[in-house]
Homo-oligomer: A and B are copies of this chain.
Amino acid sequence: MKELLPHFNSTFSIDCILFGFDEGELKILLIERNEEPFKDWWALPGNLVSENESLDQSASRILHELTGLDNVYMEQFYTFGDVGRHPQGRIISVAYYAMLRLGGDRVLKPVSSYAKQAYWINVNELPKLAFDHQKIFDQGLEKIKRRIKHQPIAFELLPEKFTLTQLQNVYEVILGKKLDKRNFRKKMLSFNVLKDLNEKQKGVSFRAATLYRFDKRKYGKLFGKEISF
């Protein structure tokens, strides 16, 4: 029965949008391609799916090869399959995103053979991208804008200990608008998912703010509840 269908031969790929928050800016990881097609172009990290791995496994592998990270939650958000999207044949691409902690212990950037280099680039200053990667990015950004309103994914971009102002900055940079400080704090604390660490920020040249941690035990209470900013 197995031979009724042609042998597996990689007609689908994964592309990843890795979001990071650094210096008050939302950034994504881009690679400079070292192979045809689109040699020397900027692109989202991605690769062909291997025969013996699921889509999720493939996404994790690609992330690991690129950053050395494991156990990062990645979420599939759309599959791109227009006829002309890949110049070398019919390849559809399943797109994932992940939110990474850049602050503190900075993510490493081991570079796979197919990339010359990888850089974190501000989402407002993206270069021209290979393939249909601009379209993939646009949709990914829309996705997290919607998702951040309903689920506590903002924490994933911050170091384990963070201040309320940092958290507010994440919301502001993703939503693209300023939020009221008092209202933001009131609402965020009302969700009861932040643990006050009774500890202050260090190394700042002004009044240090209180550090908080996202409290996973209380996450369930929030899940399903509507958050809105």
Contacts and interface: CB of A to CB of B under 8 A. Distances in A.
Interface of A: 1-2, 4-12, 36-37, 49, 51-55, 76, 78-83, 87-92, 94, 226, 228
A226 B150 CA distance: 11
A84 B206 CA distance: 57
Contacts of A91: 5
A83 B53 contact: yes
A88 B4 contact: yes
A92 B51 CA distance: 11
B81 A78 contact: no
CB-CB nearest 10 A-B residue pairs: A55-B81, A6-B9, A5-B89, A79-B79, A8-B90, A5-B88, A54-B82, A11-B11, A79-B94, A4-B88
A53 B79 CA distance: 14
